[in-house]
Amino acid sequence: MKKFSLVVLAVLGVFILQGCTTKSSEKVPRNGIMSENEITFPKPEKSIYNKALSVNLENIRKIETGMSKDEIRKLIGTPHFAAGLAYVVEWDYLFNLKEKAADKDMICQYKIVYDFDTYKAASIFWNTQECKDFVNKK
């Protein structure tokens, strides 16, 4: 009976830990360097906020590879999608981008992939070129 209990606990532990390391993209390399055709964005309706959030455009323009999770969190906040508890190497956001409140909504997804060893941003993606161009214009 004791042996059976240990096996059940071990199996449950594996399932729990699997939930702690969920990734939206398949086969994220240890160094976090990926191309656009290798990533997957989560479904927008899976956002923990149930809507796209506004972001300070100047802050998002400051983000670049090599930045730490803390630096990025200070600029644009915590990720908008549940990604697990430990060893999280993908942060996903759902933004409503616009210059002024009266502007038309532009709903965009943003992904940062981190290096597994350093937890520094290694790859950064927008879900559309239109979103990327909007943020990069000055």
The model's pLDDT over 100-137, given as tens digits with 9 standing for 90+, comes to: 889 999 999 999 999 999 999 999 999 999 999 999 98
Rounded CA separation 27/24 (Å) = 10
51-64 pLDDT, tens digit each: 999 999 999 999 99
Using DSSP, state whether 18 is helix, strand or coil.
helix
Rounded CA separation 42/22 (Å) = 11
Q: What is the mean pLDDT of residues 87-101?
A: 94
What order of strands is seen across the sheet that includes strand 107-114?
90-96, 107-114, 121-126
Q: What is the pTM of this model?
A: 0.81
Query: Are the CB atoms for 61 and 77 separated by under 8 Å?
Result: no
